[in-house]
Chain A
């Protein structure tokens, strides 16, 4: 009977539009015909996240490699990758609001800041008189608090987006960064003050501090694995949002807002939701980022951080989740690569006091990469990947 039960999961089985192989009612043949492994017999298969064999295999390989990396790489590289994973969470958040919903936000740094401080207040030492602290170091608690507070701020900001669009919205969100910077600089009881700062949240899970070395793993190995799990969770949720009606509504608002409204999309609600989700992701990323770093400087949440996030989604690929991840890792690993450059380019100096030095070169590189990607491959790294994939799909034919 299992064969006859299969079409029940497919609500379209009775309709002429079903992708069923034969027109005759043959419930017994609802399984995939032999020798045609790529055949879809229901929309559930067609709409699954990993709906092709290639995707399944690719994700599996990627996951195995990611799990093996702690045993292959040095600790400092692992820390960098953990940072990349966290930045990717933030980039997914920005991509949902800017890439999918089309609302340019230069204020992402504020959400990171709010998340970071919320988490460290929740996790902070209550004995410490100088800064707020509640002493709840359990990771899910401070992470959720960070996300929710930042999401709330996103909701407060979102009315701007329903009244402004394009460049005007970008400028207003830029203003948000300056407000945030000012508050973080002046509110000493929250941030510890300029030059003093405060400790980041403690990544504790069921009494086990991920941030300190254990019997088997170094701290960086543990942090890497933790952040990897976090990234997978957040990316999965992000992808699900993007492919559901929520993400479709975002894209509709981005492409044509009046048509979206007449089609039945509540445009205001969609914009508000986009900022709330983006705030949540930004807040969580901020909290996790400073649980790796361990120390928060109030001056970190500036325009440059926002621009770096914009760079991540533009380099990675706007309106793609996997692109956000690629872009984030790219931006996270870029400084490491430029540090190696003086060996090959003798005119570059590795000391910040001389010019030209690698740090200048690095900022220059962000700019030039954004420009190059926008001109040559607007879909970013994701677009490059699609091109490569399509080439090999058709190989050895040219198309």
Chain B
């Protein structure tokens, strides 16, 4: 599907990954590939295992089964900083910045894996250490410009407003000069204006910096507008992967988000064809029609759907 999006070899190949915590299967047989310059979105209800997928990719969790290939190399079992050094950067759902440090220092830390000087050179602040610091600073200032953070440069990030902190975290990931960027809910908790800013930055990252991205997001409007392809996960199981328009019409996706309708749900899945506005058997109780995008109110609707 949508092979035109992918040029050249895929950047990431995830193959049959299963992650269990004792009895709980957090991720079950997840497979997907992300191509060059692709914006790949992962969506799913809360607790579906989206962030666990990120944790597997970046090496924080080690899955029981499956393989993860990044840039053609098996990265499963490598330590997180080693995977980061290969070019995988990440932002977190709940901001994970070094809050006592300034914006500049946070961004400089993004370049930690590029630092080639040792403690002795650092102790003298001479030659290699000094040059390296100056080059890194220049690179970091480019990102400050790119993300319009100039006025917050010298401030400890703990003092900054939420939206700016999110942006600093994105900046720290960009400072790593990654080939793949993992964005975990980049606009969670943001107002419309901040969301639009972030959307603009995400598009700029893809189009100007040409960095592939995997994005987890609950803001369906944002996901449907930005993503090239979407994977939907529910209870750790991938339901479908496809372009936004297809995903929106997929009955399994609708069921995952809105719950099973006891009157019509069985018939729909038995039919196998995605319902459209014209042909879908409307019952009046179901809040969905096929073409209606899965909206932000979906989670609330899902709970009511389950209780009926």
A residues within 8 Å of B by Cβ? 10-12, 15-19, 43-44, 46-47, 49, 237, 240-241, 243-249, 251-252, 254-256, 258-267, 273, 277, 319
Contacts and interface: CB of A to CB of B under 8 A. Distances in A.
- Lowest 5 CB-CB distances: which A-B pairs, in order? A12-B138, A264-B113, A17-B141, A244-B122, A259-B96
Contacts, number: 137
A238 B237 CA distance: 51
A245 B122 contact: yes
Contacts of B123: 237, 240-241
A103 B90 CA distance: 26
Interface string B90-117: 1010001111110001001111111101
A245 B130 CA distance: 10
Nearest to B108: A248
Interface size class of B (residues with CB under 8 A): 35 or more
B112 A265 contact: yes
B245 interface: no
Nearest to A43: B137
10 contacts: A11-B131, A47-B137, A49-B125, A241-B123, A244-B133, A245-B136, A252-B101, A260-B109, A261-B84, A266-B79
A137 to B, nearest CB: 26
Contacts of B135: 11
B81 interface: yes
A90 B100 CA distance: 24
A240 B124 CA distance: 7
Interface string B223-244: 0000000000000000000000
B246 interface: no
Interface in B41-94: 58-60, 79-81, 84-85, 89-90, 92
Contacts of B130: 44
Nearest to B140: A17
A277 to B, nearest CB: 7
Interface secondary structure of A, over-half rule: helix
Interface of B: 58-60, 79-81, 84-85, 89-90, 92, 96-101, 105, 108-115, 117, 119, 122-125, 129-138, 141-142, 144-145, 172, 176
A265 B134 contact: no
A256 B84 CA distance: 16
A17 B138 contact: yes
Contact of A319 (B99, B100, B109, B129): B100
Given A11-B135, A17-B142, 4 more contacts: A47-B133, A258-B80, A263-B81, A264-B114
A245 B141 contact: no
A248 B119 contact: no
Contacts of A265: 81, 109, 112-113
Given A15-B142, A245-B115, A262 B100 contact: no
Contacts of B99: 255
Contacts of B79: 261, 266
Contacts of A17: 138, 141-142, 144-145
Contacts of A277: 119
A246 B134 contact: no
Nearest to B92: A259
Contacts of A251: 98, 100-101, 105
A96 B175 CA distance: 26
A263 B112 contact: yes
A245 B138 contact: no
B113 to A, nearest CB: 3
B84 A264 contact: yes
Nearest to B176: A264
Contact of B122 (A44, A246, A258): A246
A319 B99 CA distance: 14
A248 B117 CA distance: 13
A200 to B, nearest CB: 26
A259 B142 CA distance: 22
Contacts of B114: 264
A277 B119 CA distance: 9
A244 B80 contact: no
A262 B58 contact: yes
A251 B102 CA distance: 11
Contacts of A15: 138, 141-142
Given A245-B117, A245-B133, A255 B98 contact: yes
Given A10-B134, A11-B135, A12-B138, A263 B176 contact: yes
A50 to B, nearest CB: 12
B110 A256 contact: no
Contacts of A255: 97-101
Contacts of B125: 49, 240, 243-244
B81 A267 contact: yes
Given A245-B122, A251-B98, A44 B109 contact: no
B195 to A, nearest CB: 23
A149 to B, nearest CB: 18
Nearest to B146: A17
A79 to B, nearest CB: 29
Residue among A49, A263, A266 facing the most chain B CB atoms (10 A cut-off): A263
Given A11-B138, A240-B122, A264-B110, A248 B81 contact: no
B294 to A, nearest CB: 30
B134 to A, nearest CB: 5
Contact of B108 (A19, A237, A245): A245
A29 to B, nearest CB: 19
Contacts of B58: 262
